[in-house]
Amino acid sequence: MKQVESPVMRKLLFIGVPVLSVLLVVGLAMTLLPYFSSPSTDTVKLSWAASDSGSDILAAEESEVEIDGLADESLGYVPLHLSSTADPRSPFETSAGVATVIKTPVTLDVESTGDAQAELQAQVAPVGAEPHMLPANYVDTSGEHINVSANGEFEVRDASNSGVVVTLAAGAVAKVYYGAGVYTVDTGEKQYPLSKPVRFAPKGDTVLSLPDHTDTNWNDTIRYNEFSGNISVFWSSESSKLWAINELPIESYVAGIAEADSKAAPEYLKVMSIIARSYAMHYLEVGGKHAGEPYDLLNSRQGNGNDQVYAGYSYEKQVPTVVQSVSDTVGLVVTYNGAIAKTPYSAGTDGKTRSAEEVWGADDLPYCIAVEDPHGFITDWATLTGNHMVGLSGAGARGYAEDGVGYGWILTHYYTGTKIEKKDPTRWIRIGLYSVS
């Protein structure tokens, strides 16, 4: 029997098949779209009240906001763009914002320093994928950083001491990164962006340390990486480096200076403690030796500067006689006409010191003139030629001390016209320990 197709049926088939095909394609595309589409963006508005601590931090306390749809554990990282529109003391910048990375689950904790409103915008990228856009000042935490640890509890603060960001347990390691004006402290559990340099402060008898600081003693059996006082991390625009800086009382600094033989006569060790303190306090009086840098002196270890050799608390523990000499002379310095003298010294001489004017053409050290140095004679020519022979002679001072001469006479002999006076021993000093670029 011959089948007859009606014109209406042919028209329906002509129209329906393409339409059905389109619908099937659209449905399939909608199903697969989440696997191929660009990372989504959610925007959440946050508001908060002033914090009693007054800390300029982005940290967790006042309010928690979970962004819908972003709690998937497959997410590798969540770059965040934050901006503040009201609080001028906030670390957020209205124009560029502050970027950080929070690993899943993506629950975001926010605290501000004043009444403000902020807009939080998060862009998500799956593991291994690059987000289409990152804020201009996004901090890449795979780069150079400084690690800080301690043998007891220690606090993370900003350099203004406006409040405690977080307290860490003994053995914890905090990594500090810097980028585009933002310091990021990574504790391994959470990240804390700060608008100011970072200060680590010990609690109680805790001693801070720098795990990556490779300084050691002469035979590599003791690591010199523990330090009294605080450790701060500063970015220097002068040297374009991120610095680990030891901030500590001047007396603790002098106890950590590794310039004298700890087995020498007590009067000699007192001499060395006084001139080390004088050198440091002289530069404190004039605003530091290194203009534009966030430290007063360098530690002069491993090629880091040419100031006094400072090895910190790890060294101090090994030299009780040096520590005793610091205690016996606390606050004592060499002065000239009432001002703290800059006290150059060398290992020894050829029997006579040299004037600062003769060696350096300097007219600002009138107390450094040539004097007889019978105990300071060095026979090794190579050693002698490496000494400027200005100021105190190390070998000469040691010889006088072994003969029973007191530290006061020794100092005024080598620094003509000076006095030994006591100054404020409670002052603090900043020592640049090492840096990363």
Q: Give the integer Cα–Cα distance in Å for 270 and 72.
A: 65
Specify the residue for token string 């040096």: 322
Q: Do 321 and 369 touch, CB atoms closer than 8 A?
A: no
E strands, 203-240, where?
Answer: 208-209, 226-227, 230-236
pLDDT tens, per residue, the chain with 437 residues: 444 445 544 544 445 545 445 444 445 444 433 433 333 333 333 332 223 333 333 332 333 333 333 333 333 333 343 333 333 333 333 233 333 333 333 334 443 333 333 333 333 333 333 333 333 344 455 578 999 999 999 999 988 877 899 999 999 999 999 987 889 999 988 889 998 999 999 999 999 999 999 888 888 899 999 999 999 999 999 999 999 999 999 999 999 999 998 999 999 999 999 999 999 999 999 888 998 999 999 998 888 888 999 999 999 999 999 999 999 999 999 999 999 999 999 999 999 999 999 999 999 999 999 999 999 998 887 777 778 999 999 999 999 999 999 999 999 999 999 999 999 999 999 999 999 98
SS (H, E, C) the chain: CCCCCCHHHHHHHHHHHHHHHHHHHHHHHHHHHHHHCCCCEEEEEEEECCCCCCCCECCCCCEEEECCCCCCCCEEECEEEEEECCCCCCCCCCCCCEEEECCCCCEEEECCCCCEEEEEEEECEECCCCCCCCCCCCCCCCCCCEEEEECCCEEEEECCCCCEEEEECCCCCEEEEEECCEEEEECCCCEEEECCCEEEEECCCCCEECCCCCCECCCCCCECCEECCEEEEEEECCCCEEEEEEEEEHHHHHHCECCCCCCCCHHHHHHHHHHHHHHHHHHHHCCCCCCCCCCCEECCCCCCCCCCCECHHHHHCCCHHHHHHHHHCCCEEEEECCEECCCCEECCECCECECHHHHHCCCCCCCCCCCECCCCECCCHHHHHCCCCECEEHHHHHHHHHCCCCHHHHHHHHCCCCEEEECCCCCEEEEEEEEEC
Q: Is 282 helix (H, G, I), strand (E, B) or coil?
A: helix
- Beta-carbon contacts of 37 under 8 Å, excluding residues fewer than 6 positions away, are none
pLDDT of amino acid 113: 37
CA distance 365 to 392: 13
Res 159: pLDDT:
86
- What's the pTM? 0.69
Domain boundaries, given as residue ranges, for the chain? 41-126, 342-417
The Cα 172–Cα 165 span in angstroms is: 15
Spatial distance between the Cα atoms of 284 and 41, rounded to a whole number of angstroms: 52
User: For position 18, what pLDDT does the model report?
Assistant: 53
* Position 169, amino acid: A
